[in-house]
């Protein structure tokens, strides 16, 4: 197991969420699934916890109950190389959830994701502050990030 592993607390949806995420990300797999036995505290046979891997990143999911919910204060940053990848991740992860400004979305489980083209960092931290500011202004106008529009804003900045 990696040194630091994100631990996700679900209210009865850990297995569904794990299978959903594994279906979206390439090079992903289900790890170990632990089910409640006779001792509970959950219904016998229901998933207590599960491990899974998304593109090399390990995660741990727990069906912990309704006491805690997800918040945008913690999000998962997905670095995308192409607009096609941005579009695919955006479409799949936002299904049943909601979209937000600047490439942020929350999925149907309430987990927040940032779907970001890798070129954005180069545009935002370029050597020309005026062009970088133009890219920033363009980004602030978008929900799903559009590489072509970001690049055009930068070039015209």
Phi, psi (deg, nearest 5) at residue 100: -140, 170
Residue 151, pLDDT score: 97
CATH for 99: 3.10.180.10
Residue 101, pLDDT score: 96
**Same-domain status, 78 and 60:** no
Residue 8, pLDDT score: 98
User: What is the extent of the structural domain holding 33?
Assistant: 1-66
Number of domains in the chain: 2
**Same-domain status, 22 and 92:** no
Q: What is the DSSP letter of 103?
A: G
Per the prediction, the chain carries an average pLDDT of: 96
**Same-domain status, 55 and 88:** no
**Same-domain status, 40 and 95:** no
**Same-domain status, 56 and 87:** no
**Same-domain status, 35 and 102:** no
**Same-domain status, 104 and 43:** no
**Same-domain status, 128 and 155:** yes
**Same-domain status, 125 and 149:** yes
Q: What integer is the mean pLDDT of 126-135?
A: 94
- By C-alpha distance, which of 1, 56, 61, 63 is closest to 29? 56
**Same-domain status, 115 and 135:** yes
Residue 99, pLDDT score: 97
Tokens of 140: 């602030």
The sign of the dihedral angle between the CA atoms of 136, 141, 144, 149 is: negative
pLDDT band at 54; cut points 50, 70, 90: very high
Residue 40, pLDDT score: 79
pLDDT band at 1; cut points 50, 70, 90: low
Instruction: Give the pTM.
Output: 0.93
Q: What integer is the mean pLDDT of 96-105?
A: 97
**Same-domain status, 82 and 24:** no
């Amino acid at each position: 197991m990696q040194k630091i592993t994100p631990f996700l607390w679900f209210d009865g949806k850990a297995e569904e969420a794990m299978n959903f995420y594994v279906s979206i990300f390439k090079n992903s797999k289900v790890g170990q699934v632990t089910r409640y036995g006779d001792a509970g505290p959950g219904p016998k046979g229901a998933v207590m916890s599960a491990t899974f891997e998304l593109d090399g990143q390990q995660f741990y999911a727990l069906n912990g109950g309704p006491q805690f919910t997800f918040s945008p204060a913690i999000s998962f940053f997905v670095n995308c190389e192409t607009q096609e990848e941005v579009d695919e991740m955006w479409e799949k992860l936002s299904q049943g959830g909601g979209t937000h400004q600047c490439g942020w979305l929350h999925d149907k489980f309430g987990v927040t994701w940032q779907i970001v083209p890798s070129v954005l960092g180069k545009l935002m931290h370029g050597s020309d502050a005026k062009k970088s500011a133009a890219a920033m202004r363009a980004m602030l106008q978008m929900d799903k990030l559009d590489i072509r529009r970001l690049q055009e804003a930068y070039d015209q900045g």
